[in-house]
Chains A and B, each alone.
Chain A
Amino acid sequence: MSLDKSAVRTIADLARIRVPEDDLDHLAGELSNILTFIEQLSAVDTDGVAPMTSVAAVGLPMRADVVNDGGIAEAVLANAPDKAEGFFSVPKVVE
Chain B
Amino acid sequence: MSKLTSLTIAEARDGLSKGEFTALDLTESHIKAIDAGRGLNAFITETPELALEKAKESDARRRAGTVGALEGIPLGIKDLFCTKGVRTTAASHILDTFIPQYESTVSANLANAGSVSMGKLNLDEFAMGSANITSYFGPVINPWKRRSDPSVQLVPGGSSGGSAAAVAAGLVMGATGTDTGGSIRQPASFCGIVGIKPTYGRCSRWGIVAFASSLDQAGPMARTVRDCAIMLGSMVGHDPKDSTSAPVAVPNFESALTGDIRGLKVGIPKEYRPDGLSPEIQAVWDRGVAWLKDAGATPVEISLPATKYALATYYIIAPAECSSNLARYDGVRFGLRVEGKSLDEMYANTRAEGFGAEVKRRILIGTYVLSHGYYDAYYIKAQKVRRLIADDFANAFKTVDVILTPTAPSAAFALGEKIDDPVTMWLNDIFTIPTSMAGLPGLSLPAGLDGEGLPLGLQVIGRPFDEETVLKVAEVMEKASGFSTRPKGV
Contact = CB atoms under 8 A, between A and B. Distances in A.
Interface of A: 3, 8, 11-19, 27, 30-31, 33-35, 37-42, 44, 46, 49-58, 60-61, 63, 72, 75-76, 78-82, 88, 90-91, 93
A17 B421 contact: no
Contacts of A49: 384-385, 387-388
Contact of B386 (A14, A18, A52, A72): A52
A91 to B, nearest CB: 5
Given A31-B361, A52-B386, A17 B438 contact: no
B429 to A, nearest CB: 14
A34 B247 contact: no
B291 interface: no
B390 A88 contact: no
Nearest to B353: A18
B151 interface: no
Given A40-B312, A41-B316, 13 more contacts: A11-B364, A15-B363, A16-B348, A17-B348, A19-B352, A30-B361, A35-B365, A46-B381, A50-B387, A51-B386, A56-B201, A79-B333, A93-B342
A17 B366 CA distance: 13
Please provide the 10 A-B residue pairs with the shortest distance between their CB atoms, ordered closest to farther.
A55-B439, A51-B383, A81-B337, A79-B334, A46-B384, A52-B387, A18-B352, A75-B101, A18-B348, A16-B347
A19 B99 CA distance: 29
B90 to A, nearest CB: 13
A46 B200 contact: no
B96 to A, nearest CB: 12
A88 B332 contact: yes
A44 B309 contact: yes
Given A11-B367, A15-B323, A34 B422 contact: yes
Nearest to B382: A41
B368 interface: yes
Contacts, number: 165
A82 B464 CA distance: 45
A17 B352 contact: yes
Given A16-B344, A44-B388, A55-B390, A80 B243 contact: no
Q: Secondary structure of the A side of the interface? A: loop
Contacts of B397: none
A75 B84 CA distance: 11
B346 A60 contact: no
Contact of A79 (B99, B363, B371): B99
A46 B53 CA distance: 57
Nearest to B326: A15
Given A31-B364, A46-B381, A41 B309 contact: yes
B13 interface: no
Contacts of B347: 16
Contacts of B377: 42
A15 B367 contact: yes
A33 B422 CA distance: 9
A33 B313 CA distance: 15
Nearest to B365: A34
B360 to A, nearest CB: 6
B48 to A, nearest CB: 24
Contacts of B382: 38, 41
B233 interface: no
Contacts of B369: 38
Contacts of A14: 367, 371
A41 B382 CA distance: 7
Nearest to A51: B383
A51 B200 contact: no
7 contacts: A3-B368, A40-B312, A44-B385, A51-B383, A53-B383, A61-B240, A61-B243
A40 B309 contact: yes
B367 A41 contact: no
B352 A11 contact: no
Given A34-B315, A38-B315, A18 B334 contact: no
A51 B380 contact: yes
Contact of A53 (B102, B214, B330, B341): B214
Contact of B351 (A15, A35, A57, A91): A15
A55 B323 contact: no
Contacts of B422: 30, 33-34
B101 A78 contact: yes
A80 B348 contact: no
Contacts of B246: 56, 58
A2 to B, nearest CB: 12
Interface string B90-111: 0000000111011000000000
Nearest to B388: A49
Contacts of A13: 348
Contacts of A60: 243
A38 B340 contact: no
Given A16-B347, A18-B348, A52-B387, A81 B335 contact: yes
A60 B313 CA distance: 25
A90 B333 CA distance: 10
B349 interface: yes
A31 B361 CA distance: 7
B244 A56 contact: yes
Contacts of A75: 101-102
Contacts of B283: none
Contact of A91 (B313, B343, B361, B363): B343
